Structure 1
């Protein structure tokens, strides 16, 4: 069957997420220091990490929803500092908004837009992410026909739900879809589980961790069109 659809993971597949996340964390911290003094002032990095882990343990139902988990953590930090329920609720929303603004200021890999434009002329493109990045708030927006986030679907990769949502939306069969991602477990194993072709975006030159390998491996998005073409052949 010919390849009709290509789905992409986002973070570390179409861009390096770390710079955006660092800026986003700084923006969130600055908002809290200015508007909710005492909330995080007395935490070092390790202490704040421990606080977050305790919140995660209390809310396992939110592990697939990184946005809601962050909002809950922000709210509980403010409550622990003595702010009222109302202050904590509004403060969480504002601090998260500051975070999200910077979160979406991603710098796509140098070759990404050219390659996406090339592929969009031949295939339907979709985005599947466990994170809270919105592809439609990036420079790549015009090339994508659909996008699903784990927090909207209710389950994170490698669970089959997001891949099945892509299949249903595209109205095609697994052997007509290629999923491209950097995570061997979330992306490759997950897509393999529903029968999709897979391309491992190994931009950091990692060793394969074991298990069934992806159908193709690339180090740069420039290699992707040829890899997809080879699968189609």
Structure 2
């Protein structure tokens, strides 16, 4: 496999159409940073719980809630792929344990999810997606629980898939295969963009799609994995790479 590192490349002019018709994109750390958003969403939810479930918050803080979710993922393998289901199950159990109403769990998750969607895309993303959406079908494939239709990028995506919808999380092939079926394209007509070497790049390649590794943090590629075909630092480089795929 030939690895292409994009730097200082100029778009090639062409009037023909690229064979690529579908672009699938990861969300967290690909189109927006998520660490601070998740932290803020959990803090907002915790303040809500302090008002509605005081016995729970008297015995748990944010760290112990995270630890309990990790335990739930280990104990409930059947829902481990669905982060929202894990959060809901964990809260219901803890609410019951603390003699607060377990029925508060769903409302508390709603509070969390609303804040979870208060994302700020990387500056390079919106202008490039706006242009790409005119030529390609764009789909988001995320293992997280952000709803792209509730974010500033909603106008650019034709459809979105999550573990809850697909019934599995990346690197399982389900989400990629469902995206291909929904778009009505063959694997060679699609490319996936993501930041995770295994869940995004290798997983997409294993279903026959092309894959682009976005490496915003200039991290080293795992030595035990075959090298990626293409590495980009931002969406401007993605746009230039897509221009290069147009056959003259």
What is the match of residue 207 of structure 1? 220
Equivalent in the alignment of 1:183: 196
Instruction: Structure 2 unaligned segments of length 5 or more: list them.
Output: 1-17
Q: In structure 2, how many angstroms separate the alpha carbons of the residues matched to 1:53 and 1:114?
A: 37
Q: Which residue of 2 aligns with 1:158?
A: 171
Q: Distance in 2 between matches of 1:36 and 1:182?
A: 37
Quote the residue 1:114 is aligned against.
127
Residue 93, structure 1, aligned to residue 110, structure 2: no
Cα separation, partners in 2 of 1:51 and 1:22, compared to 1, 3 Å: same
CA–CA distance in structure 2, aligned partners of residues 44 and 104 of structure 1:
23
Query: Deviation per CA, 1:47-69, whole angstroms, max 9, x where unpaired?
Result: 33432232222211111111111
**Is this contact kept in 1: 2:46–2:62, CA < 8 A?**
no
Deviation at 1:45, TM superposition (A): 5.0
C-alpha distance after superposition, 1:88-124 (max 9, x if no partner): 12x1012111101110010011121100011112211
How far apart are the structure 2 equivalents of 1:133 and 1:207?
A: 27
Q: Which has the higher contact order (CA 8 A, sep 6+)?
A: 2
Aligned residues of 1:178 and 1:228 also touching (Cα < 8 A): no
Task: Name the count of aligned residue pairs.
Answer: 229
Distance 1:25 1:129, change over 3 A: same
Gaps of 5+ in 1: none
Q: Is the contact between residue 42 and residue 62 of structure 2 (CA under 8 Å) also seen in structure 1?
A: no
**Of 54, 75, 84, which aligns to 1:58?**
75
How much is the aligned-residue C-alpha RMSD, in angstroms?
1.5
Q: Give the whole-Å Cα distance in 1 for the aligned partners of 2:62 and 2:86.
A: 18
Q: 116, 125, 135: which one pairs with 2:148?
A: 135
Instruction: Output the CA distance in 2 between the equivalents of 1:173 and 1:54.
Output: 39
Q: Per residue, is there more helix in 1 or in 2?
A: 1
Pick the aligned partner of 2:64 from 37, 44, 47: 47
| Structure 2 Cα separation of the partners of residues 229 and 150 of structure 1 | 31
Is contact 2:188-2:210 (8 Å) kept?
Answer: yes
Aligned to 1:4: 21
For the 8 Å contact 2:194–2:212, the answer to whether it is kept is: yes
1:103 aligned residue: 116
Q: 2:138 aligns with which of 105, 125, 128?
A: 125
